[in-house]
Structure 1
């Protein structure tokens, strides 16, 4: 029997955790990575040479690479603050940017580097162009730029992306992304920042259409904690509702949620980093929405930092498959 095809869509740390746990399973993995990041090292590189921001792509490649750990640590090495010229840049970001410039095609650059890094699976930037994230808040105001949007103490109502290289056209995902979604047995959204890691991918029109047409089970892995500037006071059902609203139809089939209680001390420890409190579980609303609910202890606490337990999430995904 051929391996099941699993497409994971998102960005940030959560995406890498899930991919790293799934890569040794008997599945064919494809990671679709957001390209609207404009902060930190990725944002600086994006501004200087106008390439797709490399940070999330770098982390995904490391998560799926089968290279020895010491080689991966070199790829992930971040220059110290006293190195004025390279300050804050990860070596892998610079390598990705260099290959993009050499090939004049970010998608091809990532495929070439995936071969060099012995990546077990596919890594696809959702677009070959660096996209701009835009948001309208509940009060009607509109702002642009991922790192800028989350600084406002206001609830985001809706987001969309624009392609600065295509002034009069809608942004498009690369055809390989659309094909992967159509051919998938399962499409996983998240975990990751709702408005800045997940939605910037799925609101691209041909991605939205592919998600509506695919026969794959579409599973949303809900965040464990709320996030400042994005999801304060939102329940797990609210997260689902926002995703389906941006997809313009009820698309998500399954929601995976954590039900393990978290110590208030751990929550307090995480609050300064933007994680405010555990996402409240609204089981009745989820059931009424018609989705399948997978709830369990998916919590991994390391040094009082809160993550998804990759092994437990992997087992739940494989059971669902």
Structure 2
């Protein structure tokens, strides 16, 4: 809560495992949270369910619901439980994914089902799937070739030039749109947070939807990007922090990212389990001049958390910075070229 007692409206956009880390810490700060979650995931349990049931992929939605839920821990453990690989029929499926898929069928749409499930799970905030239909992620690579599908795009391990989303329905000419609630949340926000998460497969699939990009261009809120700590295989290999922001701005056709949070702490050599976290390659290199050229305010600090031989953002440290920013007048933050 800010000094004047206002409960800040913070919209967090993304997907993947990084998003819940930030949401849990934000919840402790009594922020009015809206989580906007991608519906273009086609991997893991989410992808299998999507292949057999005509619903959006539920995995990221499940993790966000759990992060914002006030249910007792035992209920959340059941919701998050993933069946063992030896269980043949249910192998690898999370119970929450099955519940979301069932509710989406019952309610004839994932958006309504997630709102109902949010009430059932006593969610503190709002969880909005960015669209009410499953979307397909498409990519053009630097060599001029194209691929569709998140898993296929990252498996190609090529340099990605741009991404966009199309409807899963047969009428691909009709461009998908975000649900009105997402646009309203962006326009009414005090702060918009992008990430942390996979640049091309978790963050951009939300932003490249036409009415989302338009709302981000029009919002008076500060747009903060939490830059990834590690480069990611098949997505951001050899990327600097400035490269991440350059790609975001290029997709929306303007410098819309106002502030970038950059981790400067070093991961101890040999710490990370590279088999378990095989998507992570090396630490993102810094290019502060490149960030300033894009009119970004740069906040560099130790945002690193080491856990279970993996590299993560420290949610509490990140949120301390976010809350410090949200308490300042927007006009102090929107127009600047300094770090």
Instruction: Specify the TM-score bucket, using the shorter chain as the normaliser.
Output: over 0.9
C-alpha deviation, 1:270, in angstroms: 6.5
Matches within 5 A, 1:1-321: 1-165=5-169, 166-267=171-272, 269=274, 273-321=278-326
Change (3 A) 1:303 1:272: closer
- Structure 1 distance, partners of 2:212, 2:294, is 23
Query: Could you tell me whether the CA contact under 8 Å between 1:234 and 1:280 is conserved in 2?
Result: yes
Query: Could you tell me whether the CA contact under 8 Å between 2:274 and 2:280 is conserved in 1?
Result: no
- Structure 2 distance, partners of 1:290, 1:172, is 29
- Structure 2 distance, partners of 1:103, 1:2, is 35
CA RMSD of aligned residues (A): 1.2
Aligned pair count reads 321
C-alpha deviation, 1:252, in angstroms: 0.4
Unpaired runs of at least 5, structure 1? none
Change (3 A) 1:30 1:234: same
SS in 2 for 1:293: strand
SS in 2 for 1:23: helix
CA offsets per residue over residues 179-226 of structure 1, 9 Å max, x none? 000000100000000000000000000000000000000000000000
- Structure 2 distance, partners of 1:272, 1:191, is 16
TM-score (norm 2): 0.93
Unpaired runs of at least 5, structure 2? 327-339
Query: Quick check: 269-278 or 35-44, which moved more?
Result: 269-278
Query: Could you tell me whether the CA contact under 8 Å between 1:267 and 1:276 is conserved in 2?
Result: no
C-alpha deviation, 1:271, in angstroms: 8.3
TM-score (norm 1): 0.98
C-alpha deviation, 1:164, in angstroms: 2.3
SS in 1 for 2:119: helix
Query: Quick check: 264-273 or 127-136, which moved more?
Result: 264-273
- Structure 2 distance, partners of 1:105, 1:276, is 37
- Structure 1 distance, partners of 2:212, 2:12, is 13
Query: Could you tell me whether the CA contact under 8 Å between 1:33 and 1:124 is conserved in 2?
Result: yes
SS in 1 for 2:61: helix
